[in-house]
Amino acid sequence: MEVLYGSTRGNGTKVRASQAVLQGLAPDGGLFVPDHIPALDKDIEELSKMDYRQTAYEVMKLFLTDFTEEELKTCIDRAYDSKFDREDMVSLKEAGGAYYLELFHGPTIAFKDMALSILPHLMITSARKNNVRNQIMILTATSGDTGKAAMAGFADVEGTGIIVFYPKNGVSPIQEKQMLTQKGNNVLVVGIRGNFDDAQSGVKKLFADKELAAEMEKKGYQFSSANSINIGRLVPQICYYVYAYGTLLRQGKIARGELVNVVVPTGNFGNILAAFYAKKMGLPLGNLICASNENKVLFDFFRTGAYDRNREFILTASPSMDILISSNLERLVYRIAGDDPARTAELMAALNGEGKYEITQDMKSGLGDFYGNYATEAEAGAEIGRLYRECGYVIDTHTAVASAVYRKYRQETGDGRKTVIASTASPYKFTRSVMNAIDGGNDAKEDFALVDELAKISGVKVPGAIEEIRTAPVRHNKQCDPEGMKEVVKEFLGL
């Protein structure tokens, strides 16, 4: 049965998967959502015997229904190849009573690679299917990892260009150097004098700018997005939850049909929404544990039903979660509102205007799959140290937030179910924070000296993504205020 996509704020007009991938954001500013969540059509026992590529096909074919088998398998094979340092793309490490799903074995050592390695291929295929002749300009805001992963995917891909905006003082030194050294004639990186929410709001404004769209059309350009607001980003993220469950089953760690909890360090809400979609497809998942850092807007939402971004924006050691406007939450709000676009549009208008909204009691009852909590900076740092001392296992700052929240969840609920924790980035991406959490006293040491120390204590080889930026020249040095983003885009496109 074909899956069509409509806007969370829309008038009922539906588009095919390839059209939703191409557009990125719906014309009315809403997000594309499937008209139904398809059920897994393979038995979980059968899925457990498949490799990652085969699993990805079985999941994605159910959502991307206007792609032929050959088109989709070609996209998958081109995405999940030797640029990953594991044949199985991801791994599960048992430590401290949980299973850490390592999603950082791709070219930029963050979980974003799992989706952004395939998105360029989905997009080019979609353009071909829809007879698009324009050059596709990817416009993306990043809180640290999406930008580099998107650029790595789209760099020098024919028929595309990419502009990434990031908060100038809101990412780790390693994250920033990864972006600023990116090669590619079709790539631009811009530091925003503001925070991630400023960058994300600015990108959404550019998408909604009809005058700019008309100018671009004349010159043969059109926008699309590589953020998780693009359904082509979200669907590939469902795959690794299905694969993780199948791996646990294949290894005899769980019984068939046994419920497994999932913990996800959460900022823009896309990664945990993918787990929610996996559960709705029939994957036997228990509670979806949403872990926040000190920017705990999601924790407050799950506890009270009120979403309020009117608060201090805190820069933390887990910068990819330093977000007060979690864009993908809109897709969940739409669902718990009974798939009501008018109600969703009303709530999002309140968020854009007053900076807050509150859901009804009926809508709150639709949040039963989720548990929310948060970890302070001190708690996350202590968790890195604890896990290293007790298990010899090193995790990054974002995974530490998830791990600390999982311990709180266990203490609060007594739930002893087997649990998968999404490990979203390599500790090498946040070396200074990780090493300070383990042994402290590193302030005088240079970042790459700490990289070498981390290699010694972890026994894990320094990833190629880190080695290559040690001496790589900086290629991008542009900065602007949020108000200047439109001019930067026009200048890059020669408008």
- The residues assigned a catalytic role are 112
Are the CB atoms for 284 and 261 separated by under 8 Å?
A: no
Parallel, antiparallel or unpaired: strands 91-95 and 98-102: antiparallel
Beta strands in 336-484, from DSSP E residues, in sequence order: 356-358, 370-374, 419-423, 478-480
Are the CB atoms for 484 and 494 separated by under 8 Å?
A: no
Q: How far is CA 376 from the centre of its chain?
A: 21
C-alpha distances (whole Å) from 194 to each of 179, 198, 313 are 17, 6, 10
Q: What is the C-alpha to C-alpha distance for residues 122 and 73, in angstroms, rounded to an integer?
A: 11
Tokens of residue 320, six digits: 């990819």
Tokens of residue 5, six digits: 């996509």
- DSSP labels for 6-36? EETT--S--B-HHHHHHHSS-TTS--EEESS
Provide the total of helices (H) and of strands (E) in the chain, helices listed first. 22, 15
Q: What is the C-alpha to C-alpha distance for residues 136 and 22, in angstroms, rounded to an integer?
A: 8
Are the CB atoms for 323 and 195 separated by under 8 Å?
A: no
Query: At CA 169, angle to CA 168 and CA 170, rounded to 5?
Result: 100
DSSP bridge partners of 12: none
Q: Which amino acid is at 198?
A: D
Tokens of residue 327, six digits: 């864009």
DSSP bridge partners of 181: none
Q: What is the C-alpha to C-alpha distance for residues 64 and 385, in angstroms, rounded to an integer?
A: 42
Q: What is the C-alpha to C-alpha distance for residues 436 and 66, in angstroms, rounded to an integer?
A: 49
